[in-house]
Amino acid sequence: MIKPLHLMLLAATLGVAACSKPAPAPDPIRSVKLITVGMQPIQASLEFAGEVRARVESKLAFRVSGKLSVRSVELGQQVKAGQLLGQLDVQDFKLAQDASRAQLALAQTNRDLAASDFKRFAAMKEQNFISGAELERRESVLKAAQAQLEQAQTQMTAQGNQAAYASLHADAAGVVTGVMAEPGQVLLAGTPVVQMAYDGPRDVVFAVPEDKLAGLKPGSEVQILAWSGNQSVLAKVREIAASADPVTRTFLIKAALPGGQGMALGSTVTAVPKSLQRTGTQVIKLPTSALRQEGQDSAVWVYDAASMTVKSQIVQIATADGNDVVVAGGLLPGAQVVIAGVHVLSAGQKVTVYKENMPSALVGHAQSTTVNVAPAK
């Protein structure tokens, strides 16, 4: 009776053992890299895209309304001072001028007639044939006729000016940078027809964000680099916009180019303000692979050699420098930061570090090591 009972217990034990799950396999060990934080110089410079423009630009328009009959210039054309740019239909101006001429002739005749009457009545007054009141009345008629003549002369001059305004001429030598009207178009007075950039001094125009505006002052130097070729000149800030652009929220800067420079009008250049440069400044830099997002902040994993664990550290990023970021706060020189595999780590995770066979790096420069990460317990 005892032997069968033992057999049943042994069979039940074997059955339970057969149904139990095997122990889970340990997580694979991952390799990451560390760098030792040190002070390094900034390499990148602050650059802005700019454009070469004429110091004086103007949109030219007729001073009278009319139909544009001729536009004698095209976009990009070089023009001389006094050159004809456009012409309005002058038929109506000629008719108005003829009417003014007729009014002038009528006023001249009336003045001459009033002058003759006054001279005759003055002789009669000397002989006491008329009263003094009658002579004064004739004198008043002469003064009125003279005033009408002067008015007609002024009207004739104004009408002549109106006819002259039907021709649009260049105020100075320059180049046409814009065309805003075509022949046959009826224009109101003041409607732009062409835009001109006058010959003479030129500026480089570029825009800077608000946080960089305080570093620029009138007279500060700006290095100008041409996109085409290797031309480089030194310009000086001439004008700073008083308010931000309503769309881009940036401030327009105009830097005067030195005379005699051959940069083409409208060419694209790179503006490098010297007062905004921090090249060579010692800062803490990290590769972008070391960063991770923690809530609304940027964070890195810092290695603790005493406990052989990693902990999360919030950092403040100032700017970018090539493929690195400049750390404004949160780290001190000498700390070891994980720069690879940051998204597979967790706070307090144990790691084992082994150093590769490589020459020792200089103090203050980034040193790379490979890290074996053990699974968290």
User: Which pTM was predicted?
Assistant: 0.59
Count CB-CB contacts under 10 A for residue 90: 16
The domain of 182 spans 64-88+166-197
The whole-number average pLDDT for the span 343-369 is: 62
Kindly tell me if the per-residue pLDDT of 367 is higher than 50. no
Residue 224 lies in a domain: yes
Q: How far apart are CA 370 and CA 303, in angstroms?
A: 12
Q: Are 193 and 68 in contact (CB under 8 A)?
A: yes
CA gap 34, 21 in Å, rounded: 38
Residue 10 lies in a domain: no
Give me the CATH number covering residue 367. 2.40.420.20
Average pLDDT of the segment spanning 128-141: 84
Instruction: Mark whether 189 and 249 lie in a shared domain.
Output: no
Please check whether residues 234 and 341 belong to one and the same domain. no
8 within a domain of the structure (yes/no)? no
Q: Which of 223, 248, 276 is the last residue of a domain?
A: 276
Query: Does residue 215 form part of some domain?
Result: yes
CATH of the domain at 216: 2.40.30.170
Q: Would you call 58 exposed, middle or buried from its count of C-beta atoms within 10 A (0-12, 13-18, 19+)?
A: middle
Give the lowest-confidence range in 40-44, 76-80, 93-97, 176-180: 40-44
148 located within any domain: yes
Report residue 35's pLDDT band, with 50, 70 and 90 as the boundaries.
confident
Angstrom distances, CA of residue 80 to CA of 58, 108, 346: 15, 42, 74
Distances (CA, A) of 146 to 105, 112, 139, 185: 12, 9, 11, 42
Q: Is residue 20 part of a domain?
A: no
Q: Are strands 221-226 and 268-273 parallel, antiparallel or unpaired?
A: antiparallel
Mean pLDDT of the region 17-37: 64
Assigned domain for 181 exists: yes
Residues 193 and 68 in one domain: yes
Q: Are residues 128 and 140 in the same domain?
A: yes
Structural domain total, the chain: 4
Percentage of the chain lying above the pLDDT 70 cut: 84
List the CATH number of the domain containing 72: 2.40.50.100
Cα distances (angstroms) measured from residue 74 to each of 53, 341, 353, 364: 19, 62, 73, 62
Same domain, 130 and 158: yes
Residue 150 belongs to a domain with what CATH number? 1.10.287
Angle at 218 between CA 50 and CA 246, to 5 degrees: 55
Mark which of 276, 293, 321 sits at the end of a domain.
276
Least confident of 104-118, 130-144, 146-160, 350-364: 350-364
Torsion angles phi and psi, residue 69, rounded to 5: -95, -35
Structure confidence by residue, pLDDT tens digits, 217-267: 999 999 999 887 778 899 999 999 999 999 999 999 999 998 756 788 888
pLDDT higher than 80, residue 19: no
Question: 276, 304, 321: which is the final residue of a domain?
Answer: 276
With tokens 């030598």, the residue in question is: 173
pLDDT reported for residue 36: 87
Residue 69 has pLDDT above 50, yes or no: yes
Residue among 170, 167, 270 at smallest CA distance from 228: 270
E strand or H helix that includes residue 319: strand 309-321
Mean pLDDT of 118-140: 84
pLDDT tens, position by position, 161-183? 888 899 999 999 999 999 999 99
Predicted local distance difference test score (pLDDT) of residue 3: 53
Residue 7 to residues 1, 2, 15, 17, 19, Cα–Cα distance (Å): 11, 9, 12, 15, 19
Beta strands 369-373 and 39-41 are unpaired
> Residues 51, 205: contact at Cβ < 8 Å?
yes
Give tens-digit pLDDT for 311-351: 899 999 988 877 888 898 888 888 889 888 788 888 888 87
